[in-house]
Structure 1
Amino acid sequence: MAMKAKIKYQFLAVLAILFCGVQYSNAQKSPDILNVKSADLQKPNGSWDMEKNTLFLTRENPQKSRKNIWLKEEYGDFILELDFKLASGTNSGVFFRTKNTEDPVQTSIEVQIRDDYGKADIDKHFCGSIYEIKEVSENRVKKTGKWNHLKIICNGPIIQTFLNNKMVVNIDLNEWHEAGKNPDGTSNKFKTAYKNMPRKGKIGFQDHGGKIWYKNIKIKQL
């Protein structure tokens, strides 16, 4: 290759790399994606704290002292992604589409977050399950102290959860048309048929007495 042609080729290659870098950077800063920070959280927030991109609860509170933490904005259809790690014995959850933050169990949907590493008997309280509604297809939670990746997709009546990059729950809320009962015949504790649960509301993280860490919390509106 002639020297001038070679220099021109190298110059164009550098421009292409720079252009791709700018495009990628702009995509990462998409206004449609919220990277959750302290300013996005509703106060008071009890024993929760946040440093940089990590939200954490490192105190095992007695029941009367527990306080969930909520995002300020409400969400209906969205993709929520985050990483979490647990202490031994932790039982927690991620609430979404919450109508009443004082009664989230009865007015929201909850994905269970729990120390279930190594357990064989999967039930509707298992890590990654829709609490009381639908169990995960398999146990994918890592041992305590290891980071797990959780993705929740809400699109109308369709709710999907992915744990460590594999779908473990895929449900249509419209199939839950009776209060207190699941389509498989098992009972649940809800006073409202799950198809009638709010389709928009607060996202929150549960203080259920165990230590837990969340980081890289990202929400994309659909």
Structure 2
Amino acid sequence: MAEKKADDKGATENESASEWISLFNGENLDGWEMYGEEPFTEHWSVVDGAIVCNNGIGEKNIGFFRSIMTDRDFGNFELELEYKIAKGGNSGIFYHVIEKEGWGHDYVSGPEYQILDDEFSRSEKEPFKMLASNYSMYPATGKKPNGYMQWNKVKIVYDKGHVEHWLNGEKVLEFEEGSEDWLAKKAAGKWAGSDSYAASTTGRISLQNHGDEVHYRNIRIKEL
């Protein structure tokens, strides 16, 4: 067997790094579009290398508006990003989002990784609607978030129905989409009777405008 060359390790690392797709270039919103309308609304901007929703409003909430989403679909994936949110703020990361006339918003189709300032939340109190939850389905546990307007790291894994939510390097939620338990929770909660929620195993990644200030950066995805 040939002796391993000194640069083999570097080649392997480069190959691994190349599997990641950057979803944000740090300069503009190329690769993103509004859900359900064009052009981009004034709520979304790029500031200091981050996608920012409602920049500079602080603790104020200006009401619910449209999300932005990637301009391409993803199926099985590993998604990573960092976020920071204003005191008491609410937002969310959605996946498998489908844009369809009459559906109105991304949450109609896409499951959500909830982004929330739990400590000072003005909008949510139930465990399955707090930070890192699968919104209105499964609560996250063992969370160690940094406070408002401090950066936190998110990872979402979707692999043939197996879903993981990570926060700051710790896995805080794991479930099987489509399982008996999942179907029971869906039937008993907010999504009961909804034919659109989690109906697709491919779709867009979207970022929610819940009316609060939130920043997202270092957004990348790996297809599985």
Greater helix proportion: 1
The CA deviation at 1:61 is 6.2
Q: What is the match of residue 71 of structure 1? A: 70
Give distance in 2, aligned partners of 1:78 and 1:89: 30
Q: Cα deviation per residue 1:58-90 (whole Å; 9 max; x = unaligned)?
A: 1566336x2211110011100000011111011
| Structure 1 length-normalised TM | 0.78
Within 5 Å, give how 1:3-152 maps onto structure 2. Answer: 16=6, 21=10, 24-25=13-14, 27-28=16-17, 30=18, 32-37=19-24, 38-43=29-34, 44-46=39-41, 47-51=43-47, 53-57=49-53, 58=55, 59=57, 62-63=62-63, 66-100=65-99, 102-117=104-119, 123-152=127-156
- Letter paired with 1:48: W
The one-letter code matched in structure 1 to 2:33 is Q
Q: Deviations over 1:103-142 (max 9, x none)?
A: 32221111100001489x7611110000000000123221
Seen in structure 2, the aligned counterparts of structure 1 residues 79 and 110 have a Cα distance that, compared at 3 Å, is same
For 2:12 and 2:66, the matched residues in 1 are separated by 41
1:153 counterpart residue number? 157
Superposition CA RMSD, Å: 2.9
Letter in 2 for 1:34: I
Tell me which residue corresponds to 1:169.
173
Mapped to 2, the partners of 1:194 and 1:174 lie a distance apart of 14
Please report the TM-score for the alignment, with normalisation by the length of structure 2: 0.77
How far residue 143 of structure 1 moved from its aligned partner, in angstroms, is 0.6
Q: Unpaired segments of 5 or more residues in structure 2?
A: none
Q: Secondary structure at the match of 1:219?
A: strand
Q: Are residues 105 and 191 of structure 1, via their aligned partners in 2, closer, same or farther at CA, if it must alter by over 3 Å?
A: farther
Deviation at 1:177, TM superposition (A): 7.1
Give distance in 1, aligned partners of 2:132 and 2:91.
11
TM superposition shift of 1:195: 8.7
Question: Helix, strand or coil for the counterpart of 1:216?
Answer: strand
Give per-residue Cα distances to partners, 1:131-180, cap 9 Å, x unaligned.
Answer: 0000001232211121101000001111110011111110111225787x
Change (3 A) 1:164 1:117: farther
Instruction: Summarize the Cα distance change of 1:171–1:124 in structure 2 as closer, same or farther, 3 Å threshold.
Output: same
Kept after mapping to 2: 8 A contact 1:70/1:203? yes
Unaligned runs of 5+ in 1: 1-14
Aligned to 1:182: 185
Aligned identity (percent) is: 22
Distance 2:71 2:94 in 1: 13
**Letter aligned with residue 185 of structure 2:** N
Q: CA deviation at 1:94?
A: 0.4
Which stretches of structure 1, 4 residues or longer, exceed 6 Å deviation after superposition? none
Moved more, 196-205 or 150-159: 196-205
Secondary structure of 1:146's aligned partner: coil
SS of structure 1 residue aligned to 2:30: helix
1:21 Cα offset (Å): 5.0
